[in-house]
Structure 1
Amino acid sequence: MYYVYALYSEKYDKIYIGYTSDLDQRLLSHNHEKNRGYTGRYRPWRLLYSEAIAGKSAALVREKELKSYRGREYLRS
């Protein structure tokens, strides 16, 4: 099982979209103080949206849909 998720940083008004097989661990890693990647710059993150998907390829397709303009508008509504 995979999860497509969206995180929201209220402090910076940013949305991050990704996929993972372990949603709880992934949220912790995005918010960890030693995270030096993109999400490390915009902490703290909260879970805005998540969706369980059966397979990895389907999760990648859904992630791409959410990253589109229409997908981001859906998440902001």
Structure 2
Amino acid sequence: MPYIGHTGDLEKRMQEHNSSMSHSTKRGHNWQVMYLKEFSTRSEAMKHERYLKSSAGRRFLIRLLGKPWPRGGVRPKVLGTE
């Protein structure tokens, strides 16, 4: 299962996840960005995060990324600013 979240500082957040500083990802290491979408406001980002965590959003991610979730050397799917 992928980790889904939003942040204002992706580089810092990835360091936190990969160094086990984040409670939600303490057991995992080498987290990679597989999907990235930028928004102008935090509320838009949170709305999209809720969508991705829904069954429709999970189906969207499976169509976009495939399943099982790709591992190692995966380039993120980057969509434009909303």
TM over 0.5: yes
**Runs of 4+ in structure 1 displaced over 6 angstroms?**
none
Identity %: 35
Unmatched 5+ stretches in structure 2? 64-82
Unmatched 5+ stretches in structure 1? 1-13
RMSD, matched Cα: 1.4
**2:14 is the counterpart of 1:30:** no
On the 8 A contact 2:16/2:22 being kept in 1, the answer is no
The number of residues matched between the two structures is: 63
TM-score normalised by the chain length of structure 1: 0.72
Deviation of 1:36 after TM superposition, in Å, equals 5.5
Matched letter for residue 23 of structure 1: L
Q: Partner residue of 1:9? A: none
Aligned with 2:23: secondary structure?
A: coil
Match of 1:71 among 57, 72, 79: 57
